[in-house]
Amino acid sequence: MSKIEFTSQQKQAMSAELQRYLEDELDIEIGQFDADFLLEFVTKKFGATFYNKGLSDAQAIFDRKILDVADELYEIEQISEF
């Protein structure tokens, strides 16, 4: 599996959101540097789990769509004596 990577803009936005969350919900104030490290930890530790869940959800949707196509093909099948 390839490494989960984000653009610098995405990292900055997510780190800022972590800072806001910690401040608002837990009354903990951390700087940008610490937020970046926390984001890196969460990404490394849990990122693959979230990624795999997304793949699993996508696979389930794909499987349902394939069944829909198979059903539609069956509906247009014509009777043939050959």
**pLDDT digit string (tens) for 32-78?**
999 999 999 999 999 999 999 999 999 999 999 999 999 999 999 99
Cα separations in angstroms, 55 against 14, 18, 43, 77: 22, 25, 16, 33
**pTM score, two decimals?**
0.74
Query: What is the span of the domain harbouring residue 40?
Result: 8-76
Residue 15 covered by a domain:
yes
Q: What angle do CA 47, 15, 55 make, to 5 degrees?
A: 25
Residue 25 covered by a domain:
yes
- Position 1 scores a pLDDT of 62
Cα separations in angstroms, 1 against 36, 40, 42, 45: 23, 17, 17, 14
Residue 3 covered by a domain:
no
Residues 18/43, Cβ–Cβ less than 8 Å: no
Residue 38 covered by a domain:
yes
- Position 4 scores a pLDDT of 87
